[in-house]
Amino acid sequence: MAYRPRILALAGSTRIDSFNKKLVRIAADGAREAGAEVTVVDLRGFALPIFEEDLEAREGMPEAARKLKALFNAHDGLLIASPEYNSSITPVLKNAIDWATRREAGEPPLGSFRGKTAVILSASPGPLGGLRGLVALRMLLGNIQVNVLPEQQTIAQAHEALTPEGRLKDAAQEAAVKALGARLAEVLARLHG
């Protein structure tokens, strides 16, 4: 792989022992093994206020939002694992994306997202593994001009499927999640190489 893609990996959860944080790390391992440079971030580390245009007009973009946006700007692709909240994505993920889409002087519309490629995943204690939330996430990312690969992975009964150390007990599931990370790395290498 001549071109080494840069991938930003994150979970749409701030819970310390989040299933989706564990899941995205497995996918990140697969991307690294395929030659990508991967940055894993925890949204818990970004104290983002709820997006509000009046706040933005009054105070400008919060520093935490500026730092997160810089991370989106610096990467070619995205690995996103998000829990499903009431058949959609989490408020923390939506809020992070909302802030990162805001334009500052001299920036093109959707500059942090346009043309990027993503893979999406979900882990849930429920029987569908967060599948309904991925429908909403795919739609949102597509609307902000991210190319979302058709391959995705859900892990049902995540409380039983994942070990406390953050690995999947089923070797085939673990391999499938790692393969998604590798697939993203390979696609990005072809697109940018």
Q: What is the pLDDT along the chain (193 residues), one digit of tens a residue?
A: 578 999 999 999 999 999 999 999 999 999 999 999 999 999 999 999 999 999 999 999 999 999 999 999 999 999 999 999 999 999 999 999 999 999 988 899 999 999 999 999 999 999 999 999 999 999 999 999 999 999 999 999 999 999 999 999 999 999 999 999 999 999 999 998 7
Within-domain flag for 87:
yes
- Distance between CA atoms of residues 185 and 35, nearest Å: 7
Within-domain flag for 119:
yes
Write the CB contacts of 25 (distance below 8 Å, at least 6 apart in sequence). 9, 40, 166
**Measured on CA atoms in the order 136, 137, 140, 146, is the torsion positive or negative?**
negative
The pLDDT assigned to 4 comes to 95
Within-domain flag for 107:
yes
Within-domain flag for 170:
yes
The CATH number of the domain where 165 resides is what?
3.40.50.360
- Distance between CA atoms of residues 191 and 36, nearest Å: 13
| Residue range of the domain that includes 12 | 6-192
Within-domain flag for 117:
yes
The pLDDT assigned to 76 comes to 96
Tokens, residue 146: 């991210």
Within-domain flag for 1:
no
Number of folded domains that form the chain:
1
Specify whether the CB–CB gap between 130 and 157 falls below 8 A.
Answer: no
Within-domain flag for 74:
yes
